Amino acid sequence: MTTGAPPLPPCVGRAKIFFSYTGRDIAQAKALCSSCAVLDPCRNRARNLGEWGIWGGETEDDRRAAGFPPQYTSALAHLELADSTDDVEAAQAPTTQPKRRRKRRNPPEHGTMAAVRRHRYFKEDLCELCGPEAERDKEEREKNRKPRARSLNKKEPPDCGTPAKYRWHRKRKEECEECKEAERLHSQQRRDEKRTNAA
């Protein structure tokens, strides 16, 4: 005759109430333990290992009174702050990690362009090793700099004594009496033409 598998303990799937500190959950957990077939082995295991929570119908206070205090004192002390909560997750220890400090890099070796840029960033005078390196970099930049291509459409400056040359002088904030007189005569001629056309 074959026998079936032994029934599962009533705490299976209800672990939440066995690690809660509300009076309602404690009473419900002890009621479930009272009808459990493994009550004594569960209680002895919790006493020997110093478990926290309800095991074998006993809380930590019951085991402490029996001479078996819990070993997880830090977790117990933190859980006691959640007496009025129904969720054991609210009583878990904080998991926030301290911010990691960024590892400082070693300063660059003097006499390199990295050190030159560091001096300039902190507005420092160049040291004896970084000064020549900065000069060499400047010379190399000047050597490798491509000359600007001259525009083929660039016009030559107009002749002096013309209205165009007057505007050329004016753009460069220059004075030229000859060009100024040419512009005056040109303006007078344009005004006369307008009057003639209007008549």
Stronger pLDDT, 58 or 69, i.e. the higher one: 58
For the stretch 88-122, what's the b/e string if a residue is b when 16 or more beta carbons lie within 10 angstroms of its beta carbon? beebeeeeeeeeeeeeeeeeeebeeeebbeebeee
Mean residue pLDDT of the chain comes to: 76
The pTM assigned to this predicted structure is: 0.35
Tens-digit pLDDT profile for residues 140-164: 888 887 776 555 556 677 788 888 8
Tens-digit pLDDT profile for residues 15-55: 788 887 788 888 888 888 888 888 888 888 888 888 878 88
What pLDDT is recorded for position 85?
Answer: 42
The whole-angstrom distance between residue 89's C-alpha and the CA centroid of its chain comes to 29
What pLDDT is recorded for position 87?
Answer: 44
* Domain residue limits, the chain: 15-91, 113-143, 163-198
**Local confidence band at 95 (pLDDT 50, 70, 90 cut-offs):** very low
